[in-house]
A and B are shown apart, each in its own frame.
Chain A
Amino acid sequence: MSDFSEAFAAALALILNFESSLAEIVGLSLQVSLVAVFIASLIGLPLGAALAVFRFPGRKTLVVILNALMGLPPVVVGLIVYLILSRSGPLGTLGLLFTPTAMIIAQTLLIMPIIAALTRQSTVQLWHEYEDQFKSLGAGPGETVTALLWDDRFNLVTTILAGFGRASAEVGAVMIVGGNIDHVTRVMTTTIALETSKGNLALALGLGVILLCLALGVNAAAYLINEAALKRHG
């Protein structure tokens, strides 16, 4: 029990002292994960809705692959991105390894399948309801996908949050492609890993508490907005 009270004390001390280094780490964490979620949503949302709507050869295979990719270990994604961005890899000339950009790329690849697969699952139900009406109206493919995404927005908020949760909580991929370099690529999760390896368990757990609070804050905000909107639209 004392371990946990120590952790909360450490977390509180971290927040109260508001060290600039902590702000830097939290800021980078949010930035990397939010940009990754944004890019992954930009690709994953329309892709998921398109998979729900359109019939084409190989669609089922693609759905199975996407669902399988949802469970991809972050370390594997990190390793693949590492090998691609490494100086000896195909995109080595860009010099992106060990930069925040590399972390964004890894997290985008990690969560895009999650967002696409969950979007498909969610919009396929709505499409079942809309299909005849949309065909009757003659809605085009673009209009159909856009309309499904918009009308399913309350469910998709949860989908995007799931992506954000996975991105901000993972350590394996960003550790490998970011290198956990102080002031450059050090984020919440890699700091927690580092402090754990130094045996600073209370500090590590305290950082964990802060990460949890951030996640809680983001989720609570989304939930409240969603509830209000849902009440309005029924």
Chain B
Amino acid sequence: MDKANNTDILPLELKDVNFEVGGMRLIKDMTLTLNAGSSTIILGPNGAGKSLLLRICHGLITPNSGSILWRGPSRNEAGIYQAMVFQRPVMLRRSVAANLHFGLKSRGTPKAERDRIIDDMLQITGLTRLARSPARALSTGEQQRLAIARAWSLKPEVLFLDEPTANLDPAATHAIEETIASIKQSGTKIIMSTHDLGQAKRLADNVLFLYRGRLLENAVAADFFNRPKNDLAQAFLKGELLWWNRKELKTPAELKHRDVLKK
């Protein structure tokens, strides 16, 4: 299926989006378009605004100015074509299967289909033997797999992932990346943030490079990794610490504010 031409809600257009808290602009004049068919990785150092951008796109946060427009035919009910996985998996105090069930029920999946979808998802993500276990008793890696299974079970056209492997060991990270690749294969648009360069290289078709709330580069992955145009992106790719700043230095108060927002 050619998702690029046959979409429900994509493409997504952001125009002059600004988000500020207490006078601090955390997302600055963001303008970009996200198209179907390729996976987009949002790259940047801590505090760049990656997580905020994902939440704004997904509708969890309303920006102070600018517009977020889904351009596809089903744009009026865009919510049900999206799903999101958070950095810290949110596990309900129930069994693994019941966590999946809750997602399907919330999304209005018909009762008759739920059990079959749950079985399939458990199978694909390798959680079948844990189906009856309490979700909170799982390891962090298993919890994140469950969170991804719960999001994927909703058959979203767009899946947002906010640093899903930030707290995981290499083995668990590998399992998650494989699952993400399968989801992409199934035709879902992946929009994922990471500060891990290697992961970005493995998964990205397109890259958005963010730094201090600003979109500095929006490029095809190969171009970005081989010939970054922006000097800060160049430094980031070389593995330099981006503590220097061409424009202004942050005051301690601003830095503190940013930490709060990052939770």
A–B contact at 8 Å CB threshold (below) = yes
Query: Do A233 and B106 have beta carbons less than 8 Å apart?
Result: no
| Chain A CB within 8 A of B79 CB | yes
Which chain B positions have C-beta within 8 A of A132? 55, 60, 84, 86, 90
| Chain A CB within 8 A of B107 CB | yes
Query: Do A233 and B86 have beta carbons less than 8 Å apart?
Result: no
Given A136-B83, A136-B84, A138-B80, is A233 in contact with B105 using a C-beta cutoff of 8 Å? Answer: no
| Chain A CB within 8 A of B94 CB | yes
Q: How many A residues are at the interface, by size bracket?
A: 20 to 34
Which chain B positions have C-beta within 8 A of A138? 79-80, 106-107
Interface membership of chain A positions 194-234, coded 1 if the CB is closer than 8 angstroms to chain B and 0 otherwise:
00000000000000000000000000000000000000111
Query: Do B107 and A137 have beta carbons less than 8 Å apart?
Result: yes
| Chain A CB within 8 A of B3 CB | no
Which chain B positions have C-beta within 8 A of A147? 92, 102
Nearest to A137 among chain B residues (CB) is B106
Query: Do B92 and A151 have beta carbons less than 8 Å apart?
Result: yes
Which chain A positions have C-beta within 8 A of B66? none
| Chain A CB within 8 A of B103 CB | yes
Given A132-B86, A138-B80, is A151 in contact with B107 using a C-beta cutoff of 8 Å? Answer: no
Q: Shortest CB–CB separation between residue B70 and chain A, in angstroms?
A: 15
Interface membership of chain B positions 17-59, coded 1 if the CB is closer than 8 angstroms to chain A and 0 otherwise:
0000000000000000000000000000000000000010011
| Chain A CB within 8 A of B72 CB | no
- In the complex, which residues 61-84 of chain A have their Cβ closer than 8 Å to any Cβ of chain B? none
Nearest to A232 among chain B residues (CB) is B134
Q: Shortest CB–CB separation between residue B106 and chain A, in angstroms?
A: 4
Q: Shortest CB–CB separation between residue A203 and chain B, in angstroms?
A: 46
Which chain A positions have C-beta within 8 A of B90? 129-130, 132-133
Complex Cα spacing A150 to B59, Å: 27
Complex Cα spacing A132 to B136, Å: 18
| Chain A CB within 8 A of B93 CB | yes
Complex Cα spacing A154 to B94, Å: 12
- In the complex, which residues 57-84 of chain B have their Cβ closer than 8 Å to any Cβ of chain A? 58-60, 79-80, 82-84
Given A136-B60, A138-B80, is A143 in contact with B106 using a C-beta cutoff of 8 Å? Answer: yes
Interface membership of chain B positions 106-117, coded 1 if the CB is closer than 8 angstroms to chain A and 0 otherwise:
110000000000
Query: Do A133 and B137 have beta carbons less than 8 Å apart?
Result: no
Complex Cα spacing A143 to B101, Å: 12
| Chain B CB within 8 A of A57 CB | no
Which chain B positions have C-beta within 8 A of A136? 58, 60, 82-84
Q: Shortest CB–CB separation between residue B146 and chain A, in angstroms?
A: 12
Which 4 A-B pairs give the minimum distances between C-beta atoms? A133-B90, A234-B136, A139-B106, A137-B106
On B, residues with C-beta under 8 Å from A are 55, 58-60, 79-80, 82-84, 86, 90, 92-94, 102-103, 105-107, 134, 136-137, 154
